Amino acid sequence: MSDDFRPETVVVASQQQVSAEVDGEAVILGMERGEYYGLDPVGTRIWQLVQSPISVAQIQDALVAEYEVTADQCLADLQALLTQMRQEGLLEIAA
């Protein structure tokens, strides 16, 4: 388990980005690096959820309810994506 993204960790999208949905997928411009990122439909759903502060557990619960995935697999995949988003400056851990 990622120590940075435990179930109780609250995350939120960084204010240093601009995003839009195009054909059901999120396109994000990270202002810090000036790079574009694209998310598939599941990633887009996660992106929608992190627009306001939300716990990792709440994101996991939403995804398990909406998609055919086990809680354990969901958490592992979610932690990996959140870690990558944080490394790219797109996501912050809320205080």
* pLDDT tens string 18-55: 999 998 899 999 988 889 999 999 999 999 999 999 99
Between CA 14 and CA 91 the distance in angstroms is 5
Q: Across the chain, what does the average pLDDT equal?
A: 93
Quick check: 7 pLDDT over 70? yes
State whether residue 36 is helix, strand or coil.
strand
